[in-house]
Structure 1
Amino acid sequence: MSEFDWEKVEQDEYSRSARPSFVKLTTRSYITAMGVAPDRLADATFIDLAAAVTAVAKQISEGPNVGIKIPNFKAYRPYPLQAVWSGGDKISNRRVFRIWLKQPLFIQKEQFTEAVAQLDFDPAIATQLHFEQLAEGFEIQSFSDTPLDDSIAALTRIQTTIADHQLVPKFNDRHREVYVAGYAPDSPVLLRVALDENFGQVDEAQVVYN
């Protein structure tokens, strides 16, 4: 049996379309890490923690091949890294990040702990890695084929759709970046903005649930 591949099976959730769409994502397990990155994706703090989170996710996905016992294990491709950036009114001045990397439903904290131990990180890195239950919630998204800045078309498309549908952003100082094509500073990115569910007009048929 071939492995589960999020990029093929969950194309709507991880859209590469410029056209804005909506997702409503419930509580799932994530590997997380937090920090401050003055140079954003080029910052050493972000790079080190992103690499560590990605390595843990890869190690867990190897499961039985590396001696990690996972009940009901099914082969899968690790999900993409994402990060919530906050701390400013514009994309360019948001420097506080929280990395999230989704885990399949059959992955538990025990497997995370074993993977971290196997990888033998420097304690300064290992202590910053966590396994948490989080919900992304209701968000609008648009894919940008250029790196994010304050003038990218994806942001304009999202802002226009928000206004057209009388929607209200949940926060004014943060956004989510989903690195469906890698997290190098020059990589394209899926931009998401959290919305307040109590406002606006959105056809339920337009929303991707997971």
Structure 2
Amino acid sequence: MSEFNWEEVEQDEYSRSATPSFVKLTTRSYITAMGVAPNRLADATFTDLAAAVTAVAKQISEGPSVGIKIPNFKAYRPYPLQAVWSGGDKISNRHVFRIWLKQPLFIEKAQFTAALAQLDFDPAIAKQLHFEQLAEGFEIQSFSDTPLDDSATALKRIQTTIADNQLVPKYNDRHREVYVAGYSKTAPVLLRVALDENFGQIDEEHVVYN
């Protein structure tokens, strides 16, 4: 049986469309890490933790082949790395990050712990990695085929859609970046902005639930 591939099966959730769309994502398990990166994706503080989180996710996905016991295991491609950036009213001012990397429903903390023990991380890195239950919530998204900055077209598209539909951002100092094409300072990115569900009118047919 071929592996589960999020890029093929969950195309709407991980959209590569410039046209804004909406996602409402409930509580799932994530590998996480936090830090401050003044140079954002070019900062070693971010890239070192991103590489570590990605490595743990990859090790877990190997499952039984590397000696990690996973009940009801099904082969899958690891989900893409993402990060919530906060700390200012503009993208360029948001230097505090929290990395999230979603895990399949059959993955539990025991597998995270086992994978972490198999990998030779510097203790300073290892202690920053965590397994958490988190909910992304209700967000508007738009794909940017260029790296994000304060003048990004994807950001302008989202802001226009928010205004046109009388929507209200949940926060004014943060956004989410989903690195569907890999993380680097030059890579395209799926931009998401959290919304307050109590305001505006959204056609439920245009919301992706997971």
Shorter-chain TM range is over 0.9
Identity %: 89
Question: 1:184 maps to what in 2?
Answer: 184
Question: 2:165 maps to what in 1?
Answer: 165
Shift of 1:87: 0.2
For 1:120 and 1:127, the matched residues in 2 are separated by 12
Question: 1:11 maps to what in 2?
Answer: 11
Shift of 1:120: 2.3
Given residue 171 of structure 2, which amino acid in structure 1 is its aligned partner?
F
Question: 1:74 maps to what in 2?
Answer: 74
1:206 equivalent in alignment to 2:206: yes
Shift of 1:12: 0.1
Given residue 89 of structure 1, which amino acid in structure 2 is its aligned partner?
D
Question: 1:147 maps to what in 2?
Answer: 147
Question: 1:59 maps to what in 2?
Answer: 59
Secondary structure of 2:134's counterpart equals strand
Secondary structure of 2:61's counterpart equals helix
For 1:91 and 1:184, the matched residues in 2 are separated by 16
TM-score, structure 1 normalization: 1.00
Question: 1:137 maps to what in 2?
Answer: 137
1:109 equivalent in alignment to 2:109: yes
Given residue 64 of structure 1, which amino acid in structure 2 is its aligned partner?
P
For 1:48 and 1:160, the matched residues in 2 are separated by 35
* 1:140-175 Cα deviation digits (max 9, x unpaired): 000000000000110000000000110000000000
* 1:46-85 Cα deviation digits (max 9, x unpaired): 0100000000000000000100000000000000000000
Q: Structure 1: state its 5+ residue gaps.
A: none
Q: Runs of at least 4 residues of structure 1 off by over 2 A?
A: none
> How many positions carry a matched residue from both structures?
210
Higher alpha-carbon deviation: 116-125 or 11-20:
116-125
Q: Aligned ranges for residues 119-134 of structure 1 at < 5 Å?
A: 119-134=119-134
Given residue 56 of structure 1, which amino acid in structure 2 is its aligned partner?
V
